[in-house]
Amino acid sequence: MAREVTVRVAGREIRLAVQRLDATTWRVAADDGASHIVRSIVHAGTRWLHFDGETIAVPLGGGAAGRTTRRTAGGGREHTETLEVPMPGAVTRVAVREGEVVAAGQPIAVIEAMKMEHVIRAPHAGRVLSLRVRQGEQVDAGAVVAELGPPDAAAQGPAGGRG
Amino acid sequence: MAGRPLRRVLVANRGEIAVRIIRACRELGLETVAVAGDADLDAPHTRLAGRTEHIGPTDPRESYLHQGRLLEAARRSGADAVHPGYGFLAESATFADAVARAGLRFVGPPAGVIERLGDKPAARVLAERVGVPVVPGFWPDADAVDAEMFAAAADRLGYPVLVKAAAGGGGRGMRVVEHPQNLRAALESAEREARAAFGDGRLFLERHLAGVRHVEVQVVADEHGHIAALGERECSVQRRHQKLIEESPSPGADPGTRTKLAAAAVAIAQASGYVNAGTVEFLLAPGGRYYFLEVNTRLQVEHPVTELVANVDLVKAQLRIAAGEPLERAGIPADAPPRGHALECRVCAEDPAEAFRPSPGPILALDEPQGPGIRVDSGLREGWEVPPAYDSLLAKVIVWDRTRAGAVARMEQALRDYVILGCGTNLTFLRDVVRHDAFRRGETPTDFLERHFSGWRPEPSEFVLATAAALAEAEVAPRPSAGAGTGPAGNWDPWNDGSGWRIGGARG
């Protein structure tokens, strides 16, 4: 049974009637009555959707990736960057040590996937608060490689496992 | 087949090319043996083969690149021939030699030919000897990379220069260096990549020519001294020096150039004692000047475009030639004027909006295009997971039509029909490329993608974005439709939130 839903895209309200046909197939009818077959499935926190040559992957819940900002107890604003692996692969090199102060653009680790090297670099100067990967390790997309704090931050890793 | 017929072929590869080769073997009535590392035990190619040999862990060095394990698998399975496909050990002279020493047929050129041509500096010397022009460059005698010597040579050649791996292929170990201060870092990373990919870190330099096209000639030779050139392929649409779109004939080659390239390719093949299928690569400059680049002593990824315009089956020809057949009985005509136009797009697990970074993942839904003139060489299956350990190539869409314009339109249609969910791909990017005016006009020098598509982002239609939001709403809280639809239920707005939806899937 079709369900009518009104959504807002780029500030505009759009009304659609959607009906699930099977596990990956939906019929979507627009206001003007035209109906289209759309393929979609949710997996591992991401909605995949294909229609007429366009495929999009939308993280559910709008989870922002890669960047967290924490406030310190003293009320000051401490910027901590969580450097994440953008794709699954193998860690072929860890180029820094915990506690090391690094320059902007300095390589932190090298991930190899599908025969390509991907260098994870420090987005800005800072201190490596913690290193979460070892050379030779297999990692999933989103795994935390390192936490980068301001250069004057204390060199100790916050608690918590890989993201 | 003739005097030394093959009976059982071990396909020492994986993915779409293993599928392609296994099918050709079966058409010829040959038994097939697939090989698989841990991650591939249920991969599509294993399901097609008569039997599958487990050759080790996922790491390619311990499986698809492990000569001892492959030979042991061949012995265990009673194979009498080995087809290496492309990549992995396809251009390893030591592997071809070991296969021959084990009393098996290697479906490719003899080890000596691979060795002569696989060493790129040596191949250039050979080309020059038969009067074929080569790209100006620097090929050091020493095995170790001497940064000072390279810097001096680069200054002589003039920047930008191209750093390339002597044992290279597939763009690995290759770097464009624009400024002298970047040379050392490029040498180091290229050497590391080359060592990892080929076990050989030797490098050389070439002048980086502007405005050139990559054009290559397919040759096929038998053991009886016959060589055929089956027309050219243009492979200029490249990212990271790896081909993405190939076509035949080349829109940049006039009939005179085509004839000259074919003659140069045959001369080089002849001088090297070539047997089986191979490809002679050239750079084609505006005005028709051409330069020899290298010979790929194997079946190419893009072989299907030649198959469609020359009306041949190169894999079956390879197998028949390995069995000692002459060209004509291997289905290779002496002269094959191109018929119509063929295009190939490589569908890869990568994110074109994020520097083509790999995006392996599960295949949750799969619909492959079909229809007249559409061929899909695919290594995919719904329910399978694309492993991160191997090349990102998933499948190839190859189309044929009488005219280039017809083929381009057909390709766009085929790409629009291709559904892959769960694993990020470059399908939308490819669609945008074949829609581009410059591509449609055939204006495709090797920097085509940098020139027209750097900074490319997908631009999903309003309908697609609205549907994503509507499905989220419908799935989260299923309600009967009566009374629904009052007020904006899904407030997700991709233009305003920071969630970073992306085509490639992997969050960044």
Q: Which residue has the higher pLDDT, B269 or A81?
A: B269
Q: Searching chain B, which residue's CA lies closest to the CA of residue A52?
A: B416
**CA-to-CA dists, residue B113 to A55, A123, B66, B105, angstroms:** 45, 48, 21, 15
Q: Which pLDDT score is estimated for B32? A: 98
ω into B249 cis (within 30 of 0): yes
Q: Which residue has the higher pLDDT, A61 or B366?
A: B366
* Burial class (CB within 10 angstroms; exposed 0-12, middle 13-18, buried 19+) of B201: buried
Q: Does residue B365 contact residue B422 with C-beta atoms inside 8 Å?
A: yes
Q: Which residue has the higher pLDDT, B401 or A162?
A: B401
Q: Which pLDDT score is estimated for B3? A: 63
H or E element, residue B175 = strand B175-177
Partner B, chain A 97-156, Cβ-Cβ below 8 Å:
112-118, 141-142
pLDDT digits (tens, 9 = 90+) for B77-87: 999 999 999 99
Are A87 and B358 inside 8 Å of each other by CB?
Answer: yes
**CA-to-CA dists, residue B72 to B48, B52, B59, B63, B99, angstroms:** 21, 13, 18, 11, 11
Q: What share of chain A is helix, strand, coil (3-state, %, to 5)?
A: 0, 55, 40
For residues A118-134, average pLDDT: 90
How far is C-alpha B468 from the chain's CA centre?
34
For residues B210-214, average pLDDT: 94
For residues A120-145, average pLDDT: 89
Residue B436 has pLDDT above 60, yes or no: yes
Residue A51 has pLDDT above 90, yes or no: yes
A40-45: long-range contacts at Cβ-Cβ below 8 A with a sequence spacing of 24 or more? A40/B421, A40/B467, A40/B468, A40/B471, A41/B364, A41/B365, A41/B421, A41/B422, A42/B475, A43/B362, A43/B364, A43/B422
Q: Does residue B230 contact residue B218 with C-beta atoms inside 8 Å?
A: yes
Q: Which pLDDT score is estimated for B458? A: 93
Q: Which pLDDT score is estimated for B481? A: 45
Q: Which pLDDT score is estimated for A68? A: 36
Rounded to a whole number of angstroms, the distance from the CA of A18 to the nearest CA of chain B is 7
**CA-to-CA dists, residue B184 to B180, B190, B308, B492, angstroms:** 8, 10, 44, 48
Are A56 and B458 inside 8 Å of each other by CB?
Answer: yes
Phi and psi dihedrals of B282, rounded to 5?
-135, 160
pLDDT bin (cut points 50, 70, 90) of residue A23 is very high
Residues near A155 by beta carbon (within 8 Å), at least 6 away in sequence: A98, A99, A127, A128, A129
A26 near B CB under 8 A: yes
* Burial class (CB within 10 angstroms; exposed 0-12, middle 13-18, buried 19+) of A157: middle
pLDDT digits (tens, 9 = 90+) for B350-397: 999 999 999 999 999 999 999 999 999 999 999 999 999 999 999 999
pLDDT digits (tens, 9 = 90+) for B237-266: 999 889 999 999 999 999 999 999 999 999
Compute the distance between CA of residue B374 and CA of residue B385 in angstroms, rounded to an integer.
25
Neighbour-count burial for A142-151, b at 16+ CB within 10 Å, e otherwise: bbbbbbbbbe
Q: Which pLDDT score is estimated for B358? A: 93
Rounded to a whole number of angstroms, the distance from the CA of A162 to the nearest CA of chain B is 16
pLDDT digits (tens, 9 = 90+) for B492-501: 444 444 444 4
pLDDT bin (cut points 50, 70, 90) of residue A84 is confident
Identify which of B388, B416, B419 has the shortest CB distance to residue A89: B388
Q: Which pLDDT score is estimated for A31? A: 85
Q: Which pLDDT score is estimated for B390? A: 95
pLDDT bin (cut points 50, 70, 90) of residue B484 is very low
ipTM: 0.85
pLDDT digits (tens, 9 = 90+) for B126-151: 999 999 999 999 988 877 788 999 99
Phi and psi dihedrals of B329, rounded to 5?
-80, -15
Q: Which pLDDT score is estimated for B128? A: 96
Mean pLDDT over the full length of chain B:
91
Q: Does residue A114 contact residue B350 with C-beta atoms inside 8 Å?
A: yes
pLDDT digits (tens, 9 = 90+) for B320-358: 999 999 999 999 998 778 899 999 999 999 999 999 999
pLDDT digits (tens, 9 = 90+) for B167-198: 777 678 899 999 999 999 999 999 988 888 77
Identify which of A56, A92, A115 has the shortest CB distance to residue B503: A56
Compute the distance between CA of residue B265 and CA of residue B268 in angstroms, rounded to an integer.
5
Q: Which pLDDT score is estimated for B505? A: 43
pLDDT digits (tens, 9 = 90+) for B33-53: 999 999 999 999 999 999 999
Residue B491 has pLDDT above 50, yes or no: no
Q: Which residues of B touch A113 (CB under 8 A)?
A: 357-358, 360, 388-389
Identify which of B422, B486, B493 has the shortest CB distance to residue A48: B422
Q: Which pLDDT score is estimated for B88? A: 95
Q: Does residue A118 contact residue B388 with C-beta atoms inside 8 Å?
A: no
Compute the distance between CA of residue B16 and CA of residue B136 in angstroms, rounded to an integer.
36
Tell me, what DSSP letter sits at residue A134? -
Are B499 and A38 inside 8 Å of each other by CB?
Answer: no
Which of B36, B43, B76, B84 is CA-nearest to residue B58? B36
Neighbour-count burial for B423-454, b at 16+ CB within 10 Å, e otherwise: bbbbbbbbbbbbebeebeebbbbbbbbeebbe
